[in-house]
């Protein structure tokens, strides 16, 4: 990370990560069980589990058509979730 290589913002705003070495503050979900125990950061207990898999968030939509298809899919999913949540 070049914008905050020492992870000072993470240390300041996420005190539960302050004990981690700077590189690990950017990626706490990569900690092994042993590292979590040793450093006192337990995913799911002292720090939340990731809501999404960061590795799956690297795709790039290359064309306006792909972006439109992606947006339509997202809207369709949201409508289905909303419809399922409505009382009968």
pTM over 0.85: no
Transcribe 24-55 into DSSP letters: HHS-GGG--HHHHHHHT--BTTTBPPPSS-GG
Please, is 87 exposed, middle or buried when counting C-beta atoms within 10 Å of its C-beta (0-12, 13-18, 19+)? exposed
Q: In this structure, what are the phi and psi dihedrals at residue 46, rounded to the nearest 5 degrees?
A: -95, -15
User: What residue numbers bound the domain in which 19 lies?
Assistant: 8-50+59-85
Total tally of structural domains belonging to the chain = 1
Q: What is the pLDDT of residues 14-71, one digit of tens each?
A: 999 998 998 889 888 888 899 999 999 999 999 988 777 666 666 665 677 776 777 7
Domain annotation covers residue 29: yes
Domain annotation covers residue 69: yes
Q: In this structure, what are the phi and psi dihedrals at residue 74, rounded to the nearest 5 degrees?
A: -60, -45
């Amino acid at each position: 990370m070049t914008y905050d290589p020492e992870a000072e913002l993470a240390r300041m705003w996420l005190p539960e990560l302050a004990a981690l070495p700077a590189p690990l503050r950017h990626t706490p979900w990569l900690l092994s069980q042993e590292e979590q125990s040793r450093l006192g950061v337990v995913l799911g207990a002292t720090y939340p589990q990731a809501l999404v898999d960061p590795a799956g968030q690297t795709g790039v939509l290359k064309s306006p058509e792909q972006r439109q298809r992606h947006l339509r899919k997202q809207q369709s999913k949201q409508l289905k979730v909303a419809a399922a949540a409505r009382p009968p």
